[in-house]
Chain A
Amino acid sequence: MTILQQLDSPLIRRALLEAVLVGALCGAVGVHVLLRRLPFFTLALSHAAFPGVVLASLLGVSVYLGGALASLGLVLAVAAIGSSRRLEASTATGVALAGAFAVGVLLQSAQSGGSRDLAAFLVGDVLTVSPRDLATTAAFGLIVVGGLALFHKDLVFAAFDPVGAKAAGYRTAGLEVLVLALVALTVVTSIRAVGTILAVALLVTPALTARQWTDEIGRMMALSALFGALAGVGGIAASAQWSVAGGSAIALTATGLLVITVAFQQARRALLPGGRQPSGVTAGRCG
């Protein structure tokens, strides 16, 4: 294993730490993305963060700030387009996604010779994280995990039964905004490690993997964070071993974990007929 010989290098240690932090964070938040069926919205968020990141790097301000502001813009745009009632949410999301992404590319192409930076924003560049990036990741991660822990019961209730939650006096619209904001913050945090496009992979795949093992939400979040962190370690190791792109190796490791899980569960079900069948735990389908 090349990775074991390279552990002395602070570069590799930082990359490992960042990958583990981002993987665990995305894993935990991913369960809520799955519960509220937000994968497409997450993909749109990650595309929309892109023009903000490009603009911020052109102006020389923090890319996190740029990404966060652009994500906020997307949330507002989707809400505005969707409120027209003639277009449903996925079309509104698609329009906002395409427009935002094109603005990012335009900004990028107006500036000459930036294809290296462009690729770094799109697919991440985990080997170049600085101690400051690590601190930012840890701080954002704490905020997001704190938000999830504080409102855990409310969030789960509102996801499974929005009508009931509203009747019980919960402010469901506020909870919805909270989830979207936490997802947006997570996407922005993971840009350094896996880039804008692949953030969706880390936000969906570990959660779906954890979902194959348990029906209980708290346990699912813990398992999902574990799978996310494992994907981070595995991806960095694979990247060091075969010198391939780090962010993509992380995403592919996450996919590998899912494939192994599904194969294992299929085999177990085939060998033990009458065993536990997972029930559809996604909220809102039978409403």
Chain B
Amino acid sequence: MVRLLVEPFRDAYMQRALIEVLLLSGLAGIVSVYVLLRRLAFVGDALTHTIFPGVAIAFVAGQSLFLGALVAGLLSAVLLTWASRIPTVDQDAALGVLVGAFFSLGVVIVSTRQSYTADLTALLFGRILTVDTAEIIQTAVITAAVLVVLALLHKELVLRAFDPVAAEAMGYRVMALDLVVNGLVALVVVAGVRAVGTVLVIALLVVPGAIARLVTDRIGGLLVVSVGAAALCGYVGLAASYEASLNHRVRVGSGATIVVALTVAFLGAATVTTLVRRRRPAPTTPQADPVPA
């Protein structure tokens, strides 16, 4: 058992991958709770697709992918916030249009290149095992920035999640708060998508919060469980993919293995909490309600 959990991380590249995964787990685990409270799963998924053209342009132009992702991420966060406030257009429909348009733009740009399909795959699924020190530092800087913003605005964001009307009445600028949250989600996507790919980022943004929600009702508890679950699954997923690829000759992607670990953890938590709750009366649901009753 110890061999399975420790041995994979002897090599420097696995250590770097582990550091990146743990950093991302901390970052995404925390933001995941706000995604859960505000029901932003679709926004998160949309952002993973909308930063794709930024990455594609930077890739074709030979510029820094990180810069391309950052510009496209922040631009699409602004567009999403704006589009979801047009009264005659349903937010989900606006998101669907933006996902289709941005993602296709990225594919069109990449498809002008010869090695199109291989490049596309790399951009979509990331390569965590080749993450370098510079990328880890970028992730660390983004994590620090996001944590500072959340520490400063936590109360306002929770109020807006649970009671947007009251927040507006108290003089908070709800649209600005929405922009902040969408921007934070975009930053998580930017930090993660290049190293670990679209698939893992959306999973990290949604699943840890959902696991935490099964276990606890308190916001503080949600944050702790969410980060813990993300970090644990990241660690186990990396070790499992290493073991499977090296000792069992089954080539499995690290990112996808981490997501599968998260999904299994969710199913486990769901089963256990359902069994426990059978014996107790159902608790109240403290989820943010977008439409006041």
Interface residues of A (CB under 8 A from B): 34, 37-40, 42-43, 81, 84-88, 90-95, 97-99, 101-103, 105-106, 109-110, 112, 115-116, 118-120, 122-123, 197-198, 200-205, 207-208, 242-245, 247-249, 251-252, 254-255, 258, 278-280, 282, 285
Contact = CB atoms under 8 A, between A and B. Distances in A.
B175 interface: no
21 contacts: A38-B92, A39-B42, A43-B42, A43-B45, A43-B99, A85-B285, A86-B285, A90-B40, A99-B266, A105-B253, A115-B118, A115-B121, A201-B99, A201-B101, A204-B100, A205-B100, A245-B111, A249-B104, A251-B100, A252-B101, A255-B97
Contact of A102 (B87, B124, B214, B259): B259
A93 B96 contact: no
B130 interface: no
Contacts of B110: 245
A246 B91 CA distance: 28
Interface stretch (B74-82, B180-188, B199-207): B199-207
Contact of B260 (A102, A118, A205): A102
A200 B100 CA distance: 7
B104 A40 contact: no
Chain A contact residues, majority secondary structure: helix
Contact of A204 (B93, B105, B112, B250): B93
A128 to B, nearest CB: 13
Contacts of A92: 210
B12 to A, nearest CB: 23
A198 B256 contact: no
Interface string B44-77: 1100010000000000000000000000000000
A169 B90 CA distance: 29
Contact of A98 (B105, B124, B263): B263
Interface string B163-179: 00000000000000000
A200 B96 contact: yes
B15 interface: no
A275 to B, nearest CB: 14
B251 interface: yes
B206 A95 contact: yes
A285 to B, nearest CB: 8
A105 B270 contact: no
Of B101, B260, B270, chain A has the most CB atoms within 10 Å of the CB of B101
